[in-house]
Structure 1
Amino acid sequence: MEKNENTDSSPSKLKKYIKNLFKFSQYSTKTILYIIIFIALVAVSLFLLYYNYFVDTTFVYTIVAEWFVNPIYDLQFWGIFLFIGIMAIQGLLVPIPSEVVLLSTGMIWGWFFGGIMGIIGSMAASLLCFYISRKGGRPLAEKFVGESGLEMADNLIQKYGVKAIIVSRFIPFISFDVISYASGLVDIDIKKYSIGTFVGSIFRAFFYSIWGALLRFTPPIDTSDVELIKAQSSVFNIILLVVLAILVAMFVLYYIISKYYIKKNRE
């Protein structure tokens, strides 16, 4: 009899776990709205990833050129405000690379002012992503792995938070937006996050603005030049795929370690 109870325990636990995933009655209407926004952004990002890799490899970069870079250039002074808004929106959709937008700052404004604009735009994007992830992503993360499952990540980020953010922002080819979303999922103070992002974004922004200026390619970008777009897209597509694979591997590894961490603490 005892054996049957033990046998039935696993399916019942799984059933309870799945049921809990779809239970949102404990959240306020505002929190549920943020959760919906977060899920929608993840869904759109996944669609863009699929479309960009399997349908049209220049799709995302054509959007960046036609909808982002050229309008900013055409508006001249007012393009500054458009750039900040675009960086904020771009940050919400992971497959749209901030790196390409940051490259345009060097093309449009030169390496110095382009670098300054890159820092401002990066801060706007990172704070918006962080806020939505904290309000909508954190509750979902707690549902999937539980509060105790996030405890290890919270402890690590509280210990190495600012340093980790600076390093992740400092390295140019690490996805900026993924780090912003991930930071919102863990318990890091917004001030520490902002300081780490600001310091780390300085090198990143100037790296791309200098690169953009050295290209000596003046907007507006002619999107009929498919070879140019492909040259840019092939590099960043490979980088993004590698980063994505690493992130998936890290998530799986974290999940395994967190389960061991919880089990050890209970013992």
Structure 2
Amino acid sequence: MDLLSIQFWQELALKYGAPALALNAFIEAIFFPIPPDVLLITLCLAKPENAFLYALIATIFSSLGGIGGYFLGFWGGKPLAIKFFGETKVKKVHNLYDRYESLVILLAGFTPLPYKVFTVTSGVLYASLKKLFIFSLIGRGSRFFLEALLIKRFGEDIVNFLYKNLNIISLLAGIGIIIIFMVYQKLKGRENEQKEVL
């Protein structure tokens, strides 16, 4: 059976349970195309009493996989970026990315954006590994625990809705996160201006 088949990973989840979910969550954050949501939803349906445990496993191993993606970018991508674009340009992009990294990783973790792209990019641009891990936990955790909560509460009735609409819901939530972040930045800027005046 094709390793990229969703059915294959669903069957793997039912056969091996949490270890299969942990493996999938870890490698998906580095390079793998099948999202852990597929296994998480399958396992939550099979054992709803363990839904939050599965969400926790997916969150932890996806965030740890993000560290793997970071070092892949740092060791493999950073030297190539410097070679092709020059160290000065890479530093400029690093400074810009570093400024918004928390928001970017939060959005990548929660929304349909390809998470692995941002974990590897964080390494290429040698951004903060600490921020990557913390905001991966928040973003990934928010997504996975929301799925677990909905399945635990509504059971199989919610699954088709999740498969059809989760990306849209996540995207809207992502827009909300951006708005909150912008408002926070604006209020923080005003607070700093008032301190300077005083």
Q: Normalised by the shorter chain, which TM-score bucket?
A: 0.5 to 0.7
Listed as ranges, the gaps of 5+ residues in structure 1 are 1-58, 218-227, 240-267
Q: Is the 8 A contact 2:13 2:39 kept in 1?
A: no
13, 18, 26: which one aligns with 1:88: 26
How far off is 1:105 after superposition? Answer: 4.1
Partner of 1:163: 103
Q: Is the 8 A contact 2:119 2:132 kept in 1?
A: no
Partner of 2:10: 69
> In 2 relative to 1, CA 128–107 (structure 1 residues): closer, same or farther, beyond 3 Å?
farther
Q: Is the 8 A contact 1:123 1:197 kept in 2?
A: yes
How far off is 1:203 after superposition? Answer: 0.9
Q: Is the 8 A contact 1:106 1:209 kept in 2?
A: yes
How far off is 1:211 after superposition? Answer: 5.2
Report 1:43-58 matches (<5 A). Answer: none
Q: Which has the higher Rg, Structure 1 or Structure 2?
A: 1
> In 2 relative to 1, CA 92–165 (structure 1 residues): closer, same or farther, beyond 3 Å?
closer
Residue by residue, what CA displacement relative to the aligned partner does 1:202-229 show, whole Å, maximum 9, x if unpaired? 2111233345555628xxxxxxxxxx9x
> In 2 relative to 1, CA 166–89 (structure 1 residues): closer, same or farther, beyond 3 Å?
closer
Between Structure 1 and Structure 2, how many residues are aligned?
Answer: 161
Q: What is the percent sequence identity of the aligned residues?
A: 21
Partner of 2:53: 113
How far off is 1:153 after superposition? Answer: 1.9
Residue by residue, what CA displacement relative to the aligned partner does 1:70-112 show, whole Å, maximum 9, x if unpaired? 223223xxx3223212322233335333443343343344342
Q: Is the 8 A contact 1:90 1:125 kept in 2?
A: yes
State how far apart, in whole Å, the 2-side matches of 1:118 and 1:105 are: 11
Partner of 2:195: none
Residue by residue, what CA displacement relative to the aligned partner does 1:19-57 show, whole Å, maximum 9, x if unpaired? xxxxxxxxxxxxxxxxxxxxxxxxxxxxxxxxxxxxxxx
Partner of 1:17: none
For 1:121, what is the secondary structure of its paired residue?
helix
State how far apart, in whole Å, the 2-side matches of 1:143 and 1:209 are: 44
> In 2 relative to 1, CA 215–147 (structure 1 residues): closer, same or farther, beyond 3 Å?
farther
For 2:86, what is the secondary structure of its paired residue?
helix
How far off is 1:178 after superposition? Answer: 1.7
State how far apart, in whole Å, the 2-side matches of 1:193 and 1:149 are: 22
Q: Is the 8 A contact 1:129 1:180 kept in 2?
A: yes
Partner of 1:203: 142
- The amino acid across from 1:196 in the alignment is F
116, 123, 126: which one aligns with 1:184: 123
Q: Is the 8 A contact 1:107 1:212 kept in 2?
A: yes
State how far apart, in whole Å, the 1-side matches of 2:151 and 2:42 are: 6
Listed as ranges, the gaps of 5+ residues in structure 2 are 169-198
User: Does residue 101 in structure 1 map to residue 43 in structure 2?
Assistant: no
The TM-score normalised by the length of structure 1 is 0.51
